[in-house]
Amino acid sequence: MKIAMKNRTMLVMGIFLAAAMAGCAPTAYKITPIPISEELEETIVATDPGFFLSKIAIIDIDGVLLNSREMPLLGSGENKMALLIEKLRKAAADPCVKAVVLRINSPGGSVTASDIIYKEVLKVRNGDPCRGIPGKPVVASMLDVAASGGYYVACAADRIVAEPTSVTGSIGVVMMTWNAKGLLDKIGVSTDAIKSGPNKDAASPFRPMKPEERQIFQTMIDEYYQRFLAVVEQSRSELTAEQIREIADGRVYTGSQALKLKLVDSEGSLDDALVLAKELADVKKARVVIYHRPVGYRGNIYAAARASDPKPAASSSLVNIPVPDYLQQQGSFLYLWQP
């Protein structure tokens, strides 16, 4: 009896100790099985009444567009650009998918990543005759932000629908540089580059940029800018090259302003974009689907499409402050709106 009482006392003390270590806050643990296959799964998030095979795929283009792997505080990261391309190709290859809606919430990203995604969207829109894949209507739905590279990608769609409160535009290119020479001088640190040519260390953060180096980068910026203008001109046929250049000074616009400037086709919500997609695909009823990795619940059309990269709860004492790749790399060329 004494042994049992002692064990019970130790158990109660253990419970109190665990509660104290947890800050006396309610604690819950979730055990999630890890699937063997990591192939994309499809979840129906909305459907019209009746029986039919037609589907409309919603594909997210969110966050900063970079060809790099995300490194979250918890869990394993994933290359967002690779995941996005995988989703686009899955929708293109599915004969039941009659149209695609791009749900854009992005300030843009690197020049190359934006261009690659733009071309992949064009493949969905135009089809692949060699593989017997027909083209499918694509509608871009702008949510909070679809600026710079986000707008660049939207230009690949047949129609662009923007929330009146969306932030879009920011047509232009920027190169991020920084100079730490003043700080290094104060702490008595100097650098000396041994280089094969005079421009090998151009845009070095350890010294001011020379005028001839600035001209080199300006030439590259101008080339990328002309590429952006050509994409917009191809998409917005109702605007002349002169009109596009006049509004493409890097500034952002609201969705309503963009409509007046003819940068978008209409104002509306994601639901409006879905209705338009069905009209362009000439289908009256359809199931709305999204793609994701096997783990995760998706309740409606506004649900996030990614199931990876779990984040700590708001009450956690751990703070995740990742430094974006484009800030870690000196001299990145960006189609990005970053106020």
The H or E element spanning position 244 is: helix 241-247
Q: What is the DSSP string of 58-108?
A: EEEEES-B-SSB---SSS---BHHHHHHHHHHHHHH-TTEEEEEEEEEE-E
The reported pLDDT for the residue numbered 18 is 55
Which residues face 304 on adjacent strands? none
Determine contact, residues 238/230, Cβ cutoff 8 Å: no
SS3 at position 269: coil
- The pTM of this model reads 0.79
The reported pLDDT for the residue numbered 314 is 36
Mean pLDDT over 30-41 rounds to: 67
Whether residue 306 has pLDDT greater than 70: no
Higher pLDDT, 276 or 29: 276
Mean pLDDT over 179-186 rounds to: 84
Q: Reply yes or no on whether 2 is catalytic.
A: no
32-175+239-312+323-336: CATH number: 3.90.226.10
SS3 at position 185: helix
- Residue 182 Rama label (left phi>0; alpha psi -120 to 50; beta): alpha
Whether residue 74 has pLDDT greater than 90: no
State the chain's mean pLDDT as an integer.
Answer: 83
Considering 200, 260, 284, 285, which one is annotated as catalytic? Answer: 200
Considering 68, 114, 148, 170, which one is annotated as catalytic? Answer: 148
Beta strand 138-147 pairing with 159-162: parallel
CA separation, residue 106 to residues 22, 178, 201, 247, 262 (Å): 37, 24, 32, 20, 20
Whether residue 204 has pLDDT greater than 50: yes
- Domain ranges (residues) in the chain: 32-175+239-312+323-336
Determine contact, residues 92/128, Cβ cutoff 8 Å: yes
The reported pLDDT for the residue numbered 68 is 77
How far is Cα 89 from Cα 121, in angstroms, rounded to an integer? Answer: 9
Whether residue 117 has pLDDT greater than 90: yes
- Note the pLDDT tens digit of each residue in 152-162: 999 999 999 99
The reported pLDDT for the residue numbered 122 is 97
The length of the chain, given as a count of residues = 339
Whether residue 2 has pLDDT greater than 50: no
Residue 36: which pLDDT band, with cuts at 50, 70 and 90? low
